[in-house]
Structure 1
Amino acid sequence: MATAEAAPTIFTATSAYSLAFVTVVAVVAWQSANVFLPKNARWQDRFTWIWLAFDAMIHFTFEGSFLYLSTFGRQVVTSSGPFAELWKEYARADARWGVSDPTIVSLEILTVFGAGLICCYVLRQLANDDPARHYWLIVLSTGELYGGFMTFSPEWLTGSAALNTSNALYLWVYLVFMNVIWVFIPIWLMYDSYNHIASSLRFQQAVLRTKKN
C-alpha cells in the first residue's frame, strides 16, 4: 500500500542557504546606512536607505539570477547551480518560475533593470540629502506594487493553476511572506514621500499667497 508523501519542512537545505544569503544582504544594507548617512539622519531616511540597499541587492542577485536562468532558451527547471536550486524550490510553490513564463520574465526584466537601477539612484540622492528623491520613491514604489499585482492577479483570475498552497511552507513562507514585504514597505514609502511633497507644496503655496497680499 502506498504511503502518504511527507510534507516539506520549513527549513530545507535550500531554505537555509537562502535565509543565510538574505541575512548577509540585510546586514550589508544595515551597515551601509551607518557609512553613508549622517548620525542625525531621520529614522525614516535610515530605514529607507536600508530597504533600498536591500531591495537593490535582492533585485540584482536573486532576481538577476532568475533572468539569467530564464532567457535565451534556458529554463530554471533544466538549469543547475545554487541559484537554480533556489528557484526550483520556489517553483514548487509557483510553477511559473520554473518554466520561463513570459509574463514573469517580462516583469523581472523591469524589476532588475528598472527598479534595481532606480534604487541605486535614490540611494545616491539620499546620500546627498536631495529632496527630489521623494518623487523617485513614489515612482519606484508604484512600479513595485504594480509588479506584484501583475504577478499574482492574472493567476488568481484564471484559477491559480500554477500556485501550490497545499502546505504551510509553500503558502505562508514562499507565496505570502516572500511577496507581502514588497507590498507594505512600498505603501509606507509612498505615504512618507507624499507627506513631504504635499507639505512642501503647501508651504510654497502659502508663501506665494503671502507675497501676493
Structure 2
Amino acid sequence: MDHPYYPLGVSIPNYRPNDLPLSRSLPVFGALIGAVVVSAYLLAGSGSGSPRRVRSIDRFAASWFALCGFLHIAFEGYYILHRAGISGKGTLFAQLWKEYALSDSRYLTSDIFTICVETITVVRFILPPSPENSSRNASNALIQFAWGPLSLIAVLCICTNHPSRHLFQIVVCVAHLYGVALYYATNWAEQRLHGVSYSRPEFLYFWIYYVGFNAPWAIVPFCEWPAPGGEASKSDPPVIVLLADSYRRIATAFRALHEKESQQKNE
C-alpha cells in the first residue's frame, strides 16, 4: 500500500492511514502531559519532608523529569510493545507515532538502532521474544531498567529533598544528551554517507517534529539561563538548568565539607 514516508518506497507492512485528525488527538495527548507536569509541579512544592524554600528550579526539574518518565514509560513503552504492528493500529498512541514517523520513518521499519534506543529508555520485564520480529530485538528477553524509571526516581528525590537527588539528575541528563546525540548523528550519517533520508522535507516534519521535538533533551540538561530581572544575589541564585544546578550544589556541598575538615584539623 502507498504511504507518505521517506525514503519513498520503503516497506511498511500493513500500513493503515490515520483516521483521527490532529485537532482531536493532540489535545488529548496534551491533556495527559499537562496532568503529569502540573501534578509534579505541585508535588514538588508540598512533598518535602523538612521545611525549606522551594526553588523554582526544583519545581521545574520535578515537572521535567515527570514528563520524561511519562514519555519514556507510557508513550515509548507503547512503541516497544507494539512496534511490529504499529503501522496498522488505530489507537491514540499508534496514530501519534505514525504522525511523528513522517519525520523519522525508522519507527515504522523496525530499525535496529531505534529499537535499542527506545528500549533502554523504558522499564521492561522478562517477556518472550516477539515472534514477528525476534531476530531484530533479542533484548525482549532481558530486564531493562533505565531512563524512564530513573526519571521518576529523580522526581521522588526532588519532592522529598533526598540527598541522592543530584546523582539521579546527573545520570538521567547525561543519558539524554548521549541518546539525542546518537539519534541525530545516525540520521545525519545515513544522509551524508548513503544519501538516505528518513524524514519528509517539509518544514513541519523536519524542523518542528524531528529537530524541535528532540532538542529539549539536549538543551534542558546543558544550558544555563540568568535569573529574570538582572543580576542574582547569593540568596537568589540564577535560574540554572539541571546539569549546571547539580554541579553547583555538589560543588557547594564539597566546599563546605572541606572547610569543615580543615577547621577540625586546625583545632
TM-score by length of 2: 0.69
Where structure 2 has 5 or more consecutive residues not aligned to the other structure, the ranges are 5-19, 47-51, 124-145, 223-240
Aligned match for 1:108, one of 90, 102, 118: 118
Aligned match for 1:13, one of 21, 31, 34: 21
Q: Following TM superposition, by how much is the alpha carbon of 1:48 offset from its aligned partner in structure 2, in angstroms? A: 0.7
Q: In 2 relative to 1, CA 95–162 (structure 1 residues): closer, same or farther, beyond 3 Å?
A: farther
For the 8 Å contact 1:77–1:99, the answer to whether it is kept is no
Once the two structures are superposed, what CA deviation does each residue of 1:19-55 show, in whole Å capped at 9, x if it has no partner? 5413431243213332453394111111111111111
More helix by percentage: 1
TM-score by length of 1: 0.85
For the 8 Å contact 1:59–1:111, the answer to whether it is kept is yes
Q: Following TM superposition, by how much is the alpha carbon of 1:75 offset from its aligned partner in structure 2, in angstroms? A: 4.0
**C-alpha distance in 2, partners of 1:155/1:15?**
29
Matches within 5 A, 1:84-163: 84-113=94-123, 114-159=146-191, 161-163=196-198
Which residue does 1:185 correspond to in 2? 220
Aligned match for 1:203, one of 239, 247, 256: 256
**C-alpha distance in 2, partners of 1:19/1:105?**
27
Q: Following TM superposition, by how much is the alpha carbon of 1:128 offset from its aligned partner in structure 2, in angstroms? A: 1.6
Where structure 1 has 5 or more consecutive residues not aligned to the other structure, the ranges are 6-11
Aligned match for 2:207, one of 163, 172, 180: 172
Q: Following TM superposition, by how much is the alpha carbon of 1:127 offset from its aligned partner in structure 2, in angstroms? A: 2.2
Once the two structures are superposed, what CA deviation does each residue of 1:167-203 show, in whole Å capped at 9, x if it has no partner? 1110222112210111111222111111111111111
Matches within 5 A, 1:26-105: 26-38=34-46, 40-70=53-83, 74-105=84-115
Alignment: residue pair count: 200
Q: Which amino acid aligns with 1:13?
A: P
Q: Following TM superposition, by how much is the alpha carbon of 1:145 offset from its aligned partner in structure 2, in angstroms? A: 1.0
Identity %: 28
Which residue does 1:24 correspond to in 2? 32
Q: In 2 relative to 1, CA 174–106 (structure 1 residues): closer, same or farther, beyond 3 Å?
A: same
**C-alpha distance in 1, partners of 2:94/2:262?**
60
For the 8 Å contact 1:141–1:189, the answer to whether it is kept is yes
**C-alpha distance in 2, partners of 1:43/1:36?**
10
Q: In 2 relative to 1, CA 25–182 (structure 1 residues): closer, same or farther, beyond 3 Å?
A: same
**C-alpha distance in 1, partners of 2:201/2:23?**
18
Q: In 2 relative to 1, CA 176–61 (structure 1 residues): closer, same or farther, beyond 3 Å?
A: same
**C-alpha distance in 1, partners of 2:243/2:85?**
35
Which residue does 2:226 correspond to in 1? none
